[in-house]
């Protein structure tokens, strides 16, 4: 686990813009989802929903089931019981490549960039489901968000620094123009200053209209930019509340915000 962020870092991040907008429609909904790895019962009835335009965070200890939840949404895993609804349609059985076309993009844990492809090729892969003209448009958008990637466009992905690789992973996920962006531990292993930058960019992406489900070890920072959050423990949701509510919750503070 990375060192707890400095106090100053907390303030550098703006408070949630919109707050909890109850009127917005539910764009993604997990209903009593059970997912297994063989006989391992990893998700034991997860119910989560995302409303249009929100940033929602999943927090929880290692092994709680955060990554499994994202994989179940993006179709890498399918629930054995329960459903995933996206824009009202049951997508529990859809293949990952179809879900990308539908508008769900998943930046996986550990970045998983294509290290032997150039930065530009990685981004083009992100836009795999889109037409060349759209790709050109989205490339400029991503390069605007991450000028660093433009400078390194022709370099192999594997030669980038950790921070740059994370930028590439997020930029690549944006290339499919997702309605919902799933981010799995985007700040993992980054220096504090880069963590700040990544969180700012996540807010910017959200402000441009993308709904975000953010998995973070860095619960404090995640709660600072999210509107709502869910706390997972051994495959179950043990708490669901507004980000403010969670940040103020004694148990959460003790268990996940590093307070004694």
Ligand X SMILES: Nc1ncnc2c1ncn2[C@@H]1O[C@H](COP(=O)(O)OP(=O)(O)O)[C@@H](O)[C@H]1O
Binding site for ligand X (CB under 6 A): 37, 40, 42, 60, 62-68
Rg (CA), the chain: 17
Nearest to 54 by CA among 75, 74, 29, 27: 27
**Considering only 38-46, 79-87, 172-180, 205-213, which stretch makes contact with other proteins by CB under 8 A?**
172-180
Going residue by residue from 67 to 96, which x/- string records binding to other proteins, judged by CB under 8 A?
A: -------xxx------------------xx
In angstroms, rounded to a whole number, what is the distance separating the alpha carbons of residues 18 and 156?
39
The residue range among 31-39, 44-52, 139-147, 205-213 that interacts with other proteins, by the rule CB under 8 A, is 139-147
In the list 2, 18, 93, 97, the residue contacting other proteins (rule: CB under 8 A) is 97
217: burial class by Cβ within 10 Å (0-12, 13-18, 19+)?
A: middle
Q: 109 vs 137, which CB is nearer to ligand X?
A: 109
Residue 186 lies near other proteins (rule: CB under 8 A): no
User: Hey, what are 121's tokens?
Assistant: 């090729």
Q: CB atoms < 10 A from the CB of 179, how many? A: 18
Show the binding pattern over residues 67-86: x = contacts Mg ion (CB under 5 A), - = does not: x-------------------
Q: Is 181 in the site for other proteins (CB under 8 A)?
A: no
115 in contact with other proteins (CB under 8 A)? yes
Q: Decide the pairing of beta strands 180-184 and 104-107.
A: parallel
Q: Which of 2, 88, 93, 116 binds other proteins (CB under 8 A)?
A: 116
- How many helices and strands (H and E) does the chain possess? 11, 10
- Cβ atoms of 82 and 30 within 8 Å: the answer is yes
The least CB distance from residue 217 to ligand X, in Å, is 8
């Amino acid at each position: 686990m990375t060192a707890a962020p400095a106090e100053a870092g907390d303030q550098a991040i703006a408070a949630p813009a919109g707050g909890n907008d109850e009127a917005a429609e539910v764009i993604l909904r997990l209903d009593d989802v059970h997912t297994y790895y063989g006989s391992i019962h990893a998700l034991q009835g997860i119910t989560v929903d995302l409303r249009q335009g929100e940033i929602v965070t999943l927090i929880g200890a290692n092994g709680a089931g955060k990554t499994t939840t994202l994989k179940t949404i993006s179709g890498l895993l399918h629930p054995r019981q329960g459903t995933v609804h996206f824009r009202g349609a049951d997508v529990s059985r859809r293949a990952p490549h179809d879900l990308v076309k539908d508008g769900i993009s998943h930046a996986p844990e550990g970045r998983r960039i294509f290290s032997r492809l150039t930065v530009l090729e990685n981004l083009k892969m992100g836009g795999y489901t889109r037409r060349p003209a759209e790709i050109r448009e989205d490339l400029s958008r991503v390069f605007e968000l991450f000028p660093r990637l433009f400078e390194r466009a022709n370099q192999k992905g594997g030669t980038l620094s950790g921070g740059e690789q994370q930028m590439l992973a997020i930029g690549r996920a944006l290339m499919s123009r997702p309605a919902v962006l799933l981010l799995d531990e985007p700040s993992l292993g980054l220096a504090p200053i880069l963590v700040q930058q990544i969180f700012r960019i996540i807010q910017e992406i959200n402000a441009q209209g993308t709904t975000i489900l953010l998995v973070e070890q860095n619960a404090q920072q995640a709660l600072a930019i999210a509107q709502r959050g869910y706390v997972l423990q051994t495959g179950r949701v043990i708490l669901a509340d507004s980000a403010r509510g969670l940040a103020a919750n004694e148990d959460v503070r003790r268990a996940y915000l590093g307070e004694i």
